[in-house]
Amino acid sequence: MNAIITASELAEELAGPRPPVLLDVRWQLGGPNLRPEYDNAHLPGAVFVDLDAELAGPAGAAGRHPLPDPETFGAAMRAAGVSADRPVVVYDGGLNWAAARAWWLLSWSGHPSVRVLDGGLAAWDGPVTADLPDPEPGTFTPAPGALPLLDADGAAALARGGLLLDARAAERYRGDVEPIDPVGGHIPGAVSAPTTENVTASGHFRSAAELADRFKALGATGDTEVGVYCGSGVSGAHQVLALAVAGIPAALYVGSWSEWSRDGSRPVATGPDPQ
């Protein structure tokens, strides 16, 4: 099953006999909670999910958005109406980073049918509402491990022996600027692959063929083990999603640069080359 769904496909499924559960994951890096925007207008039936509180654990040594406690995450998903036997569609404002984090976390936790609305709310031309839903509680119980996961040591090893993609902006990869984390630069051996290049100017994902060509040019061949990291495991999830659309499995280093850069014993490379 494709990991993304178009607005027209979603409209058709919502009108069908078995509509998916809708999760609204609007979020902005370093900004205020976007719950007020959800309260003002959202897809009918969609439940708001707070990325910082429900799709991540407390910030600390493990990074700015470490994995959430499975019990906390499972309770939040059940409260939103998520069950393993009902498909889920997640969306955000259009960037799809937050939606991809929800997609990755649910998929990693064993949910068999999760898709991201391609283009997010900006692509939706159907009805919206301010009415708050009252979903029937779901039954989903996380079973972590359905997708590959990297820790810091695993990311370092993959950078040496496979392909580790850095999904952040190129200037952060080079170390020219670092607006958030303690140190600028990248994991030695990682390849710069800004996640913004996965989408078109309209914010929709590039075709599977285009994405496959992009990742092949970066070194993802059929026998290459691939991993991804970013700042804190959010835009990196978008890269893993794009790789999935291209038919390439990839592991996510959730702690990402926000964990790596807090450990002074970890090496840091700068400049445009992997090193």
pLDDT tens-digit readout, 119-141: 999 999 999 999 999 999 999 99
Residue 92 has pLDDT above 80, yes or no: yes
Please, what is the average pLDDT of the chain? 96
Question: In this predicted structure, what is the pLDDT of residue 223?
Answer: 87
* Domain termination residue (choose one: 82, 106, 123): 123
- 87 in the same domain as 177: no
- 119 in the same domain as 47: yes
Query: Which band of pLDDT confidence, cut at 50, 70 and 90, is reported for residue 250?
Result: very high
**Phi, psi of 165, deg, nearest 5:** -100, 135
Candidates 40, 50, 36, 115; CA nearest to 80 is 50
Question: In this predicted structure, what is the pLDDT of residue 105?
Answer: 98
Question: In this predicted structure, what is the pLDDT of residue 29?
Answer: 86
Q: Which has the minimum average pLDDT: 27-36, 87-96, 167-176, 249-258?
A: 27-36
Catalytic residues: 230
Task: Note whether residue 186 is domain-resident.
Answer: yes
Task: Note whether residue 142 is domain-resident.
Answer: no
Question: In this predicted structure, what is the pLDDT of residue 126?
Answer: 95
3-class state of residue 199 by DSSP: strand
Task: Note whether residue 265 is domain-resident.
Answer: no
Region 108-114: mean pLDDT is 98
C-alpha–C-alpha distance, residues 173 and 270, integer Å: 7
For the domain that residue 206 is a member of, what is the CATH number? 3.40.250.10
* Domain termination residue (choose one: 123, 158, 190): 123
Total domains in the chain come to 2
- 119 in the same domain as 161: no
Task: Note whether residue 192 is domain-resident.
Answer: yes
pLDDT tens-digit readout, 96-105: 999 999 999 9
pLDDT tens-digit readout, 1-47: 689 999 999 999 999 999 999 999 999 988 888 999 999 999 999 99
Contacts for 153 with CB less than 8 Å, ≥ 6 apart: none
What CA dihedral angle connects 156, 192, 25 and 205, to 10 degrees?
A: -130
C-alpha–C-alpha distance, residues 241 and 216, integer Å: 16
C-alpha–C-alpha distance, residues 262 and 204, integer Å: 34
- 157 in the same domain as 107: no
Task: Note whether residue 272 is domain-resident.
Answer: no
Candidates 240, 244, 23, 251; CA nearest to 117 is 23
- 115 in the same domain as 207: no
CA-angle at 83, arms to 132 and 203, nearest 5° = 65
Element (H, E) at 256: helix 256-260
Q: What is the domain extent for residue 164?
A: 149-260
Question: In this predicted structure, what is the pLDDT of residue 31?
Answer: 80
Region 201-220: mean pLDDT is 96
- 103 in the same domain as 48: yes
Residue 157 has pLDDT above 80, yes or no: yes
Residue 207 has pLDDT above 90, yes or no: yes
Candidates 83, 64, 90, 73; CA nearest to 5 is 90
The residue type at 77: M
The owner of tokens 């499975």 is 70
Task: Note whether residue 34 is domain-resident.
Answer: yes
For the chain, the C-alpha Rg in angstroms (whole number) is 18
